[in-house]
Amino acid sequence: MNKIAISLLFVTALSYGMEEEGLYLVVGSTRKSDIEKTFPVQPLWKEDKADFSLRNAYPGKETTSMDIKKSTMPGVKHIIGDASVYQFGKNTIQAAYLERLPTMDVFQTTNGVKSKSTEDRNYLGECVQNIGSAMKKGAIIEIEWHPYLFSSTKTNINEINTVYNEDFIKKNPFTAGPYIDPVIIAIEMACLKSLECDPAKFYSPQFIDCASKFSTIIKKMICFYEKENMGTKALLNKRLAQEIWLLRNLMSSNDKALLTCGPSASLEEFSKAIARFPFIPIQDSSKVGTFVTVQKNNELFSGKLYDLSLFLNESFVNFVLSDVAVEHNSAYVKEFMKDNGFKDISIERTTSLRNGRKNVWIVKGTKA
């Protein structure tokens, strides 16, 4: 047998062996971090110490990355596609890691992340279903889970007896679905030494009860953040109180806030920004998210223009609500995973074995 024939035989055997072994897949990765190294992500997830090249994602195995964008690293295995609909071969996936995929069907605009529809699409769940249908029996799936936030309101807030919209969460267990009214009161209870007005004068006992219980959860989360060196408890409480104050003002009018530093700024920088800024009665929504200079009371102010939606999307409040939602939604997620062919489901906050992010929530299961 000549050398050419031997080479062809070797390549054929290698390809067959890899097909039999299956894909070691990381979904939602271009092999580069898309997260800006800012507050609160950097101090909690330690992204500067993580490895998004995926060279050692699965030791001894070649990793195939997948994203709707092309890979930032040339010469590596990469699939460009939507994991919720991509047609994988049957029994071709040996292991899968879903890296911080959107939990809702969203798109990015200058005004922040927007939902594509009002149908509450369970996007991450659809990815799990599609990928799971192509996994071998015994294959392991891991999901780096950070719930997106979908806040809602209720016509009669005094009918609220739970912080969470249970009907929404049953449809989309991977997404945080709180009612905004008790959340605001709960954060104020958790972060302020005293409230300006007694909530009991305005809300029903059941509303106050659920807000009070949720404030206890917020306090525990703040203690955890302090332990992870995100800031002192006093500074973190101050930050949440500042954001709630601003959110209340944006909710009560159509004015926009012109901030020199947004919510991704450090605790100290944001405190300086919110201490001196103007509310601007600009009706043109196309200006939101852009940097402008305006004159008010004979002073010039420059900064980024925020409306309620954009500020909430980028806020520390949003991050905290997403974080605490994991505890509430975990039972729904485990049920969803079992219904879709997975067993031995676990959910824990840990260090990712695939990219090295710290303090992330990992959902893990085995294909039954």
Long-range contacts of 163-168 (CB under 8 A, 24+ apart): 163/210, 163/211, 163/213, 163/214, 164/325, 164/328, 168/120
Residues 82-88: what's their mean pLDDT?
96
Task: Match 């700024």 to its residue by tokens.
Answer: 265
Sequence-separated (6 or more) residues with CB below 8 Å from residue 306: 250, 256, 257, 258, 259, 262, 288, 289
Domain made up of 3-149+325-367: CATH architecture: 3-Layer(aba) Sandwich (3.40)
CA distance 173 to 327: 11
Query: What value does the mean pLDDT of the chain take?
Result: 90
CA distance 310 to 330: 27
First to last CA, the chain: 45
Q: What is the pLDDT of residue 193?
A: 85
H helices within the chain, ranges in order?
A: 3-21, 41-45, 123-132, 166-171, 180-191, 205-227, 233-251, 267-275, 308-314, 316-339
Structure confidence by residue, pLDDT tens digits, 220-279? 999 999 999 999 999 999 999 999 999 999 999 989 999 999 999 999 999 999 999 999
Task: Give yes or no for residue 19 having a pLDDT over 50.
Answer: no
CA distance 173 to 152: 15
Using a 10 angstrom Cβ sphere, with 0-12 exposed, 13-18 middle and 19 or more buried, the burial of residue 108 is exposed
Q: Which two structure tokens, joined as six digits, stand for 325? A: 């939602």
Q: What is the dihedral of CA 109, 115, 118, 121, to 10 degrees?
A: 150
Q: What is the largest distance, in Å, between two alpha-carbon atoms of the chain?
A: 91
Write out the DSSP string of 258-282: EESS-TTS-HHHHHHHHHS--EE--
Q: What is the pLDDT of residue 93?
A: 97
Number of residues that this document lists for the chain: 368
Task: Give yes or no for residue 131 having a pLDDT over 70.
Answer: yes
Label each residue of 41-58 as H, E or C. Answer: HHHHHCHHHCCCCCCCCC
Name the band, by pLDDT with cuts 50, 70 and 90, for residue 288.
very high
Task: Give yes or no for residue 297 having a pLDDT over 60.
Answer: yes
Q: What is the pLDDT of residue 168?
A: 94
Q: Which two structure tokens, joined as six digits, stand for 55? A: 């060279």
pTM score, whole prediction = 0.89
Task: Give yes or no for residue 9 having a pLDDT over 90.
Answer: no
Task: Give yes or no for residue 114 having a pLDDT over 60.
Answer: no
Residues 302-318: what's their mean pLDDT?
95
Q: What is the dihedral of CA 328, 334, 337, 339, to 10 degrees?
A: -110
Name the band, by pLDDT with cuts 50, 70 and 90, for residue 106.
low
CA distance 61 to 359: 25
